[in-house]
Amino acid sequence: MENSDSLSIRSMEEQTNLRHGQIEKVLKLLSVESPAPVIKDGSRWVRTPVPYKMDHARITHLTGQRVQEWQEVKKYLDNTNCKMTFLRRALDDLDPTPCGKCSSCLGQPVINISVDPTLAHRAGTFLKHAEMVITPKAQVAANAFLDYGFRGNLPQKLRAQEGRVLSRWGDAGWGKMVANNKHAGRFSDELVEAIAEMIQQRWQPNPAPQWVCCVPSRYHSELVPGFAQRLADRLGLPFVDAVSKIKDNQPQKGQQNRFHQCRNLDGVFAVTQPYEGQAVLLVDDIVDSGWTLTVIAALLQQAGSGLVYPIALASSSVKDS
Q: pLDDT tens digit string along 28-58? A: 999 998 889 999 999 999 999 988 888 899 9
The enclosing domain of 129 has a CATH number of 3.40.50.2020
Residue 321 lies in a domain: no
pLDDT band at 3 (very low <50, low <70, confident <90, very high): low
Its sign, for the CA torsion 153, 280, 125, 128, is negative
SS3 call for 168: strand
Angle of helix 83-90 versus helix 56-78 axis, rounded to 10 = 160
Same-domain pairing of 96 and 229 = no
Rounded Cα distance, 130 and 201, in Å: 13
Residue 218 sits at the vertex; the CA angle it makes with 309 and 234, to the nearest 5 degrees, is 40
Domain limits for position 37: 6-47
Residue 261, pLDDT above cutoff 80: yes
Q: What is the pLDDT of residue 318?
A: 56
Same-domain pairing of 169 and 215 = yes
Same-domain pairing of 60 and 41 = no
Number of domains in the chain: 3
Q: What is the pLDDT of residue 12?
A: 92
Range of lowest pLDDT (107-116, 206-215, 253-262): 107-116
Mean pLDDT for all residues in the chain: 92
Q: What is the pLDDT of residue 320?
A: 36
Q: What global pTM score does this model have?
A: 0.82
Same-domain pairing of 76 and 182 = no
